[in-house]
Amino acid sequence: MPAQTTEPAGTATASLLSASIALSLACAFGIFACAAAMSLGWSTVIAAIVSVGVAAFVAWFCWRHPIIPLDDEASLSRGLKVIAGLATLAALIQLARLCVFIVNPAAVGYAIGPSRGPGLTISHSCLSAYYVAARSVTTVPNVYAYELYAFPAASPTELRKPRPIGSFNIDAYEYPPPFLLLPRTLAILVPEFLRFRMIWFALNGAVMVIGLVVVARMLGPVAGTRALLLAPLVLASDLTVGTLQIGNLQAIVFSIAMIAMVLLGQRHYAAGGALLAFATVSKLFPGLLLLYLLVRREWRALAWTSGLMAVLIVISLLDTGWTPYQAFLDHLPRLLSGESFPAFRNPGAVAKNYSVPGMAFKLQLFGVTGASFGAMKMVGWIYTLVVLALTIIVARRTLNREGEPLAWLTILILASLRSPFLPAYAVIPVLWLLTLLAATVAPTLRILCGALLAWMVLNISLPQQGPDPRLMSLIILLPQAVIVILIVIALRSRPTPLGHTSGALGLGTPSLE
């Protein structure tokens, strides 16, 4: 780096920046290691020792092997450094506080309450659905049965009364059977729910951080340095911390899919294909990246991913049998139309739905006739055709290392918005997209202020049992408008191809090795 070899001041600044990044990552992984150690039943003292040991190793590794060659002079500004410092501090404090609640559910003062983040009660746990489904899938005829997760309802419109698991409410399971391979494997290590919750938090947090780092690393010194410093804005968000608290899968599916695409771009077909295969069979919407690979004629990446999807399905069938698959096929039409989601019985949840098809159902709050599940299903299929067309258009472009991750993440966001029901955690990948877009341009005062304004609007939080649902649905239009603007900016972005590229996806991507 010129700044590090010709100017001592630049070298000192870059070294300090590198040390700060290493220390920040060390603290984050130390927090996750503490939760993982506690999940195994180890004492607080041993967990603390493990946490310090992991943090020390991560700090040493990142110091000796910098994530990217930091470009202090060309890519940074004082404002960006200030934002990065404050966001990092906020993120680490948020994660540390959440770790206390994860380890000790009675410490509710450390949790994200219903007035922040996703706006859900402290007792809400999406993870509980994965756990119950994983433990029950081989013993019940229908793992999607309403009564498995909630008390029987007197009428189809009655608010859901969830069954309890400890101090938490059991959520409904709405994922394909192959996803259960992960929670069923983890349940072997930690069969008790509260400890399962600890290791799930550690895994989710680590995967999210790794995803942010891996994508920043592939951008190169200038944009990569900016992306790395802006990444804490994603982790500092109440929406991100709240999603880690409830254990929802959505956020890490984006991270897994993005890591997979980076690996495929580096011709690590087995590892990348395995990750993309798991993301696809778990949540379906990442499968749109297979169309992206198909249009770009990335045959080896497509073959590895498709083959490993088949392998995962076979393993799942051997593990659970055909029964859950038959139940899923019966459940799928109601899943696509939205009828299987109990949230549609709650006007507050309907108002906070970020889904594109859900917009049709939301009109019901304003007395619009015909705003039904049927209308939502029709909008969903129309939107699907639009997203397919946009994916083909994006895949036909020539993109450099800065354009590729923007394309992948935009495709994933567009695909995820097809879901009939999409709560506030839908915003997390958009926050990531915001940081990547900001990283591709010079960090002027105008750019930084615009990014912070967009970040604040995206983080608008409303409790599910809040004001008039009609008012909430109007307020939610603000972050939805920002989502549309960022997607349009990403789609219109046409970076000039690099002078030389490498990798199967046309990337000059540095190796992870």
Give alpha helix (H) positions in 373-442: 373-395, 403-416, 428-439
Buried b vs exposed e over 398-429: b needs ≥16 C-beta within 10 Å? ebbbbbbbbbbbbbbbbbbbbbbbbbbbbbbb
> What confidence score (pLDDT) does residue 206 get?
97
| Percentage above 70 pLDDT, the chain | 92
Asked if residue 12 has pLDDT above 80, the reply is no
Q: Is the CB of residue 476 less than 8 Å from the CB of residue 351?
A: yes
DSSP states of 244-286 = HHHT-SHHHHHHHHHHHHHHHHTT-HHHHHHHHHHHHHHHSGG
pLDDT higher at 502 or 110: 110
Instruction: Please give the average per-residue pLDDT across 191-197, as a whole number.
Output: 96
Which residues are CB-neighbours of 416 under 8 A, at least 6 positions away? 250, 254, 285, 422, 426, 429
> Are the C-beta atoms of residues 324 and 177 closer than 8 Å to each other?
yes
182 in Cβ contact with 277 (< 8 Å): no
The H or E element that residue 313 is part of is helix 299-320
Band of residue 372 on the pLDDT scale cut at 50, 70, 90: confident
Residue 74 has pLDDT above 90, yes or no: no
Whether the predicted pLDDT of 60 surpasses 90: yes
Please write the tens of the pLDDT for every residue from 104-116.
999 999 999 888 8
- Higher-scoring residue by pLDDT: 55, 461: 55
- Look at the block and give the residue holding tokens 């495929």: 264
According to the model, what pLDDT value does residue 72 have?
58
With a CB cutoff of 8 Å and minimum separation 6, the contacts of 279 are 253, 256, 257, 260, 286
Which has the closest alpha carbon to 100: 240, 234, 244? 244
Q: Has this prediction a pTM greater than 0.85?
A: yes
H-type helices in 121-180, by residue range? 127-136, 146-149
Higher pLDDT, 13 or 106: 106
Q: What is the CA radius of gyration of the chain?
A: 22
| CA–CA gap between residue 404 and residue 332 (Å, rounded) | 32
Residue 386, both tokens:
């639009």
Q: Which stretch of 84-98, 155-169, 449-463 has the lowest confidence by average pLDDT?
A: 155-169
Q: What would the DSSP string read from start to end of 316-385?
A: HHHHH-SHHHHHHHHHHHHHHHTTT-GGGG-HHHHHT---TTHHHHHGGGGT-TT-SHHHHHHHHHHHHH
Answer left, alpha or beta for residue 369, where phi above 0 means left and psi between -120 and 50 means alpha. Answer: beta
What's residue 120's pLDDT? 86
Least confident of 89-103, 160-174, 485-499: 485-499
Average pLDDT, the chain: 89
Residue 123 confidence class, pLDDT cut points 50, 70, 90? very high
Q: pLDDT grade, residue 510 (50/70/90)?
A: very low
The pLDDT of residue 498 is 37
Is residue 276 within 8 A of residue 264, CB to CB? The reply is yes
Does the pLDDT value for residue 102 go beyond 80? yes
- Average pLDDT score over residue span 251-256: 96
Nearest to 455 by CA among 432, 439, 471: 432
Helices 288-295 and 373-395, axial angle in degrees (round to 10): 30
pLDDT digits over 403-457, tens only? 899 999 999 999 999 999 999 999 999 999 999 999 999 899 999 999 999 999 9
pLDDT digits (tens, 9 = 90+) for 317-336: 999 999 999 999 999 988 88
Q: Which of 250, 234, 244, 242 is nearest to 113 (CA)?
A: 242
Per-residue pLDDT, 71: 64
For strand 164-165 and strand 168-170, is the pairing parallel, antiparallel, or unpaired?
antiparallel
Question: What does the pLDDT look like over 20-46, one tens digit per residue?
Answer: 899 999 999 999 999 999 999 999 999
Instruction: Indicate if the pLDDT at residue 485 is higher than 90.
Output: yes
